[in-house]
Amino acid sequence: MIKTSMYVLGSASLLALGLASAAFAQSSVTTDVGTLDRETAEKVQPRQPYSPPAGRNFPSRPFFGDTHLHTSFSMDAGAFGARLAPRDAYHFAKGEEVMASSGQPAKLARPLDFLVVADHSDAMGFFPQLFAGKPEMLADPTGRRWYNLIQSGRGAEAAIEIIGSFSQGTFPKAILPLPGTPTFRSACRKRLRRRTRRTIPGASPPLSATSGPRTQVATTCTATWSSATTA
């Protein structure tokens, strides 16, 4: 019985192969279900190109990232509550868990493929110094007032005052981070310290988390420094 079944199956397979060969050898083939010609068969099952990517007009490996990120080093972001520094931004982009400015843990579902930290050079690093209550900040009456406002939960009021004084040119010179001042120099050093190449896991090919920001940081600090010293 088993031999008979195998014989029947084998005969059916040979018959199917024979019909297929006949279909390609002839212009058409007729069976009990109708006639199949070459043109119809090719429409049903078109031939695949030799090179699968040929004719493809869409990206098959898109990358995702952020091309403009501000941290606490920027005047605007710092004024409105940003507490994380460039170092934290890079860790976050790599898929590591960080503590957000709101005091809540935050982590990406998947690492970014690229990140550009685009902090402003104007007054860069002012807010981290103010938040930390650095002596040079508290030595200035206005700086102490802003610090006390923030510590008492009136950060929004302090932010409005700081932005207003900065835009109107009344910002206390003693605590304004300008090129050559300790605050500005410290911020630049911290930014440039992140120049060490770090690849982001999961990216193929591996992409650098600091290749873009590294260039921008160096350009920002150097260009601002040069314009100030030559003015």
pLDDT at 137 over 60: yes
Domain ranges of the chain: 65-230
- How far, in Å, CA of 113 to CA of 206, rounded? 8
Summarize pLDDT for 89-116 with one digit per residue, the tens. Answer: 999 999 999 999 999 999 999 999 999 9
Summarize pLDDT for 152-206 with one digit per residue, the tens. Answer: 988 889 989 998 998 898 999 888 887 777 777 777 776 665 544 444 444 444 4
Q: Band of the pLDDT at 13, cuts 50, 70, 90?
A: very low
Q: Band of the pLDDT at 30, cuts 50, 70, 90?
A: confident
Token readout for 231 is 């003015």
**Do the strands 34-37 and 28-31 form a parallel or antiparallel pair, or are they unpaired?**
antiparallel
Q: What is the mean pLDDT of residues 66-86?
A: 90
195, 218 contact by CB (below 8 A): yes
Q: What percent of the chain has pLDDT over 90?
A: 29
The three-class DSSP label of residue 66 is strand
Summarize pLDDT for 120-131 with one digit per residue, the tens. Answer: 888 888 999 899
- End-to-end CA gap in the chain: 102
* Cα angle, residue 64 at apex, residues 59 and 65 outer, rounded to 5°: 145
pLDDT for res 17: 46
- Cis amide prior to 205 (ω within 30 degrees): yes
Token readout for 177 is 């981070």
pLDDT for res 194: 54
pLDDT for res 110: 93
